[in-house]
Amino acid sequence: MFTKILCKKQSKLLLVIFLAFLSSHVSAQKTNVSGGRQYSSYLFVYFTGNDKAEEQIRFALSTDGYHYRALNHNQPVVSSATISSTGGVRDPHILRGEDGKTFYMVATDMVSAKGWNSNRAMVLLKSTDLINWTSSVVNIQQKYPHQENLLRVWAPQTIYDPVAKKYMIYFSMKHGQDPDKIYYAYANKDFTDLETEPKQLFFSPTNGACIDGDIISKDGKYYLFFKTEGEGAGIKIAVSDKLTEGYVLRDRYVQQTKDPVEGAGTFPLNNGSEYVLMYDLYTKGKYQFTKTKDLEHFTVIDQDVTMNFHPRHGTVMPITTAEAERLESKWGSAEDVISSFTSKQVHALNYSIDTVNKAITLLVKAGTNLHAFNPGFMRFPGVQIKPNAAQDFRKGNSRYTINIKGQQAEEWTVKTVETHNPVLDGYYADPDILYSEKTKRYYIYPTSDGFTGWSGTYFKTFSSTDLVNWKDEGVILDLNKDVSWAKRNAWAPCIIEKKINGQYKYYFYFCAAQKIGVAVADSPAGPFVDSGKPLISKLPAGVKGGQQIDPDVFFDPSTGKTYLYWGNGYMACAELNDDMVSVKEEIIKVITPDASFREGTNVFYRNGKYYFLWSEDDTRSQNYRVRYGIASTATGPIQIPANNLVIAKDTAAGIYATGHNSIIQVPGKDEWYIVYHRFNYPNGIHMGQAAGYNREVCIDKLAFDDEGFIKQVKPTHAGIQPVAAKK
């Protein structure tokens, strides 16, 4: 009987296999087929921070595993107050059940404000639709004996044990002075409690702390990703052919960064052959994504990943089209769809949205073809956007209809405005600008911004022929890779071009760990080689406070000498030696102009006058601005004009914190421009102090009156027109 059935169905089975093979190779959106289910999208489950309001579960969707959009306006989808004993949850993990239609979530029951040793419990959640969840709290200390010295229970995750035919929950615990260890226990049938006592899952050969376990099975083996604690902390892998025992450590770190990391999460891409390992760069306020085929070699793919939220320790699960439609119907919004544009011609960080009048304004870049412009709205299951082709925006706007399955259709107006500010894509600050005689191009050297607490660790440069269209030349100096004496706070660089013995050299002065270093290259785009030690590392004589930051380098055309200026809270200067990597320390001079000086010195020369510019106030203040003075020599004294304000905020235009500038003269012309940073527009003013490290670079025209005084600059969104190249 079995043979007859097999023969009868064999041709159909072969046809199904062939069609599945064909689909996997032809379909534009590849899907992962598992248990008869086709996965076409991804659900990202996460929390957002250490504030109690941020310690709640949030969802985001992606159709490709690379580009994510938060659901429910990045607000909680499950209330921590109703599911936890502490009022907060962290580190959510989600798993699809073996039946394919039940979902299990677990999370740390914790409010971090109460202390890192304050929690003893975890939360278990269960759902059949990803929308409605039942929950229960398991307090390890209350449930089990001999847990009197238990300090914390962190980052639970769930995996199905095919041998025990039960769901295993694994998590880390710390008892007294012992290090954190990873344990496991089995959940009961209803997923409301643990039915076995916790047992240690992984035994570290170093007896070091292990937290944030994440297990994925591949080719008959189990791969346990976990974070070590203490010196040299990072992510390692232990491998076993059994789920609950026998893990052997691969004793090397797999994270592709030297920044602190935690919360490893691994998920398969829906193409069936690749995996993503992601982890939380918790000191940077962002994630890093890497890709692998063998769970051994990992390649960073950050450049391909986008998200409109800042997640903390979370997990990603492949989902079906129907499941994605259900989530969009419940928590999606037309507002999110209309702000999901992907066109590279749009300033991605600078759109403004009017929810009352259902309108969005997109700031587009120079040269955008508005005759046939397509914003490139992201397509999610259950969402229709019409029209779906390029539109004529020459009159400034176009109408779109957004229909989300299960919701009422909405009409939105999309308006486009061509602007040349900001000039760089992304968060950058403290720009220094150079015109290279060697390449006949302009270069901007900024601080890489957007990192919490100014914690960036690398420098990039951008080049242009016209001051409007800029090319990203990539990283030119990475503290973690290229600098031995400092690994943090890569800030406020400056550069000078020198022609020595017929060859061009580039001297790049930069801040690292509140000291000033210098690196040298043969090209303005690098690579730069650090000198091996800080150039400026201590306060000048007589100065009681401040920081050794914000260098500016200046060649004096009158004397042929080259000077370095620096200081936060004071302005110091010193002549550089001929080697350009050392200063004449015996003649360091403090020339602070007046009480308005904060930082960001910039010096240039015009018509026999030396102009000294500096920033006033704090970079986190909307009133951060630039003032100037004039001197007859490169070392002062500096005279203060009656009206010495160079550039300041324009509240009517929504432009704030215009500071830390440099100045560029078009070669061969008395034509000048100011390069500066401002708060991100339009969101910076609403960010609080975080606006001070979410800044963007702009350029506007600088002009002088007949007596050589600087005319106050009005900051603009429009920016400048392309500058003619030198003939």
Which pLDDT band, with edges at 50, 70 and 90, does 726 fall under?
low
Give residue 456's pLDDT: 92
Whether the per-residue pLDDT at 381 is higher than 80: the answer is yes
Counting residues of the chain whose pLDDT is more than 90, the rounded percentage is 90
Token pair recorded at residue 229: 């604690």
Mean pLDDT of 712-723: 97
Whether the per-residue pLDDT at 145 is higher than 70: the answer is yes
List, for residues 323-364, the tens digit of each pLDDT value: 999 999 999 999 999 999 999 999 999 999 999 999 999 999
Give residue 7's pLDDT: 37
Distances (CA, A) of 642 to 630, 645, 663, 709, 714: 11, 9, 21, 10, 18
Q: How does the average pLDDT of the chain come out, rounded?
A: 93
Query: Where do runs of H (alpha helix) occur along 67-148?
Result: 80-83, 140-143
Token pair recorded at residue 454: 């100014």
Structural domain contains residue 51: yes
Mean pLDDT of 105-112: 98
**Is residue 345 domain-shared with residue 244, that is, in the same domain?**
no
Among 375, 397, 418, which residue terminates a domain? 418
- CA 166 to CA 182: how far, in whole Å? 19
pTM of the shown model: 0.86
**Is residue 345 domain-shared with residue 246, that is, in the same domain?**
no
Give residue 229's pLDDT: 82
Give the closest residue to 257 by CA, choosing from 205, 299, 208, 218. Answer: 299
Token pair recorded at residue 585: 């320390």
Structural domain contains residue 389: yes
Which pLDDT band, with edges at 50, 70 and 90, does 184 fall under?
very high
Give residue 189's pLDDT: 97
**Is residue 235 domain-shared with residue 349, that is, in the same domain?**
no
Mean pLDDT of 505-512: 98
Structural domain contains residue 338: yes
Give residue 36's pLDDT: 59
Whether the per-residue pLDDT at 10 is higher than 80: the answer is no
Structural domain contains residue 290: no
Which pLDDT band, with edges at 50, 70 and 90, does 22 fall under?
very low
**Is residue 439 domain-shared with residue 369, that is, in the same domain?**
no
List, for residues 65-95, the tens digit of each pLDDT value: 999 999 999 999 999 999 999 999 999 999 9
Whether the per-residue pLDDT at 26 is higher than 70: the answer is no
- CA 378 to CA 339: how far, in whole Å? 9
Place of tokens 């350009």: 580
Whether the per-residue pLDDT at 697 is higher than 60: the answer is yes
Whether the per-residue pLDDT at 4 is higher than 60: the answer is no
CB atoms within 10 A of CB 396: 12
Give residue 725's pLDDT: 63
- CA 512 to CA 208: how far, in whole Å? 31
Whether the per-residue pLDDT at 463 is higher than 70: the answer is yes
**Is residue 327 domain-shared with residue 205, that is, in the same domain?**
yes
Structural domain contains residue 24: no
Give residue 271's pLDDT: 82
- CA 462 to CA 477: how far, in whole Å? 13
Mean pLDDT of 135-163: 97
**Is residue 217 domain-shared with residue 346, that is, in the same domain?**
no
Give residue 452's pLDDT: 86
Give residue 32's pLDDT: 59
Token pair recorded at residue 107: 């999370």
CA dihedral 626, 630, 636, 642 (to 10 degrees): -80
**Is residue 364 domain-shared with residue 234, that is, in the same domain?**
no
Structural domain contains residue 721: no
Which pLDDT band, with edges at 50, 70 and 90, does 33 fall under?
low
**Is residue 383 domain-shared with residue 499, that is, in the same domain?**
no
Which pLDDT band, with edges at 50, 70 and 90, does 233 fall under?
confident
Give residue 535's pLDDT: 98
**Is residue 490 domain-shared with residue 621, that is, in the same domain?**
yes
List, for residues 537-573, the tens digit of each pLDDT value: 999 999 999 999 999 999 999 999 999 999 999 999 9
Whether the per-residue pLDDT at 96 is higher than 80: the answer is yes
Give residue 116's pLDDT: 96
Counting residues of the chain whose pLDDT is more than 70, the rounded percentage is 94
Residue-range definition of the domain harbouring residue 489? 428-702
List, for residues 197-229, the tens digit of each pLDDT value: 999 999 999 899 999 999 999 999 999 999 998
**Is residue 579 domain-shared with residue 635, that is, in the same domain?**
yes
Give residue 272's pLDDT: 77
Token pair recorded at residue 109: 């029951």
Query: 3-state SS of 221-275?
Result: EEEEEEEECCCCCCEEEEEECCCCCCCEEECCCCCCCCCCCEEEEEEECCCCCCE
Give residue 1's pLDDT: 32
Give residue 231's pLDDT: 65
Question: What is the radius of gyration, based on Cα positions, of the chain?
Answer: 29
Whether the per-residue pLDDT at 21 is higher than 90: the answer is no
Helix, strand, coil percentages, rounded to 5, for the chain: 10, 45, 45
Which pLDDT band, with edges at 50, 70 and 90, does 283 fall under?
confident
- CA 45 to CA 47: how far, in whole Å? 7
Query: Where do runs of H (alpha helix) occur along 135-254?
Result: 140-143
Structural domain contains residue 231: yes
List, for residues 615-654, the tens digit of each pLDDT value: 999 999 999 999 999 999 999 999 999 999 999 999 999 9
Among 372, 399, 418, which residue terminates a domain? 418
Give residue 37's pLDDT: 73
Give residue 200's pLDDT: 98
- CA 81 to CA 67: how far, in whole Å? 30
Query: What CATH number does residue 241 fall under?
Result: 2.115.10.20
Phi then psi dihedrals of residue 535, to 5 deg: -85, -40
List, for residues 658-692, the tens digit of each pLDDT value: 999 999 999 999 999 999 999 999 999 999 999 99
Please tell me whether residue 47 adopts helix, strand or coil conformation.
Answer: strand
Structural domain contains residue 181: yes
Length of the chain: 727
CB 461 within 8 A of CB 524: yes
Mean pLDDT of 569-579: 98
Which pLDDT band, with edges at 50, 70 and 90, does 23 fall under?
very low
**Is residue 440 domain-shared with residue 388, that is, in the same domain?**
no
Of residues 33 and 395, the one with the higher pLDDT is: 395
**Is residue 306 domain-shared with residue 355, that is, in the same domain?**
no
Give the closest residue to 657 by CA, choosing from 619, 712, 698. Answer: 619
Number of domains in the chain: 3
**CA 186 centroid distance within chain:** 37
Place of tokens 């240690």: 200
